[in-house]
Amino acid sequence: MLRRITNINAVGTAMLGLGVLMTGCGGEAPVTAAVPRPVKVEIVGTAATQAMQTFVGTVRAHRRAELSFEAPGRLADVRVDVGDHVRAGQVLASLDAAPTRWRLEKALADRDAAAAQLQERTTQLRLQEPLAKERIISAPALEAIRAQHAAAAAQLQSAEVAVAAARRDESLARIAAPFDGEIVARLVQPHADVNAAQAILQIEAPGALEVVVMLPDGIAAGLAPGQAARALVSNADSAGSTVSLALDRLSARSENGSLVPAIFRVEGASRAARSGSVVQVELPRAGVAETITVPTPALLPGEAPGAASVFVLDEQHARVTKRAVRVGNHVMTGGRLPVLEGLAPGDRVVIAGAAFLSDGQPAVRSATETQLLDAAR
Residue 232: the pLDDT is: 87
Query: For the segment 352-363, what is each residue's pLDDT rounded down to a tens digit?
Result: 989 999 999 999
Residue 234: the pLDDT is: 73
12 in any annotated domain: no
Q: State whether 198 and 71 are in the same domain.
A: yes
The answer on pLDDT for 251 being more than 70 is yes
Query: For the segment 20-78, what is each residue's pLDDT rounded down to a tens digit?
Result: 344 444 455 454 567 889 999 988 864 444 557 889 999 999 999 999 999 899 999 99
Q: State whether 157 and 215 are in the same domain.
A: no
264 in any annotated domain: yes
Residue 49: the pLDDT is: 45
Query: For the segment 160-176, what is each residue's pLDDT rounded down to a tens digit?
Result: 999 999 999 888 899 99
Query: For the segment 280-289, what is each residue's pLDDT rounded down to a tens digit?
Result: 898 876 655 5
Closest Cα partner for 169 from 237, 69, 240, 264? 69
Q: State whether 91 and 187 are in the same domain.
A: yes
133 in any annotated domain: yes
Closest Cα partner for 277 from 230, 211, 213? 211
Residue 153 is part of a domain; what is its CATH number? 1.10.287.470
The residue from 228, 257, 284 where one domain ends is 284
181 in any annotated domain: yes
Query: For the segment 226-246, what is each residue's pLDDT rounded down to a tens digit?
Result: 999 988 887 655 555 788 899
377 in any annotated domain: no
Kindly state the average pLDDT of the residues 206-234: 89
Residue 30: the pLDDT is: 53
214 falls in which pLDDT band (50, 70, 90)?
very high
**Into how many domains does the chain fold?**
4
25 in any annotated domain: no
Q: How far apart are CA 112 and CA 163, in angstroms?
A: 11
Residue 305 is part of a domain; what is its CATH number? 2.40.420.20
Query: For the segment 292-335, what is each residue's pLDDT rounded down to a tens digit?
Result: 888 889 999 998 888 999 999 998 999 999 999 999 877 766 67
91 in any annotated domain: yes
123 in any annotated domain: yes
Distance between terminal CA atoms of the chain? 90
Residue 247: the pLDDT is: 94
Structural domain boundaries enclosing 74: 67-95+173-203
Residue 257: the pLDDT is: 74
Query: For the segment 135-150, what is each residue's pLDDT rounded down to a tens digit?
Result: 888 889 889 999 999 9
Residue 235: the pLDDT is: 61
The residue from 284, 301, 321 where one domain ends is 284
Q: State whether 71 and 195 are in the same domain.
A: yes
Here the contacts of 263-269 (C-beta below 8 Å, separation 24 or greater) are 263/210, 263/211, 263/212, 264/57, 264/210, 264/211, 264/212, 264/213, 264/229, 264/231, 265/62, 265/208, 265/209, 265/210, 265/211, 266/59, 266/208, 266/209, 266/210, 266/211, 266/231, 267/243, 268/244
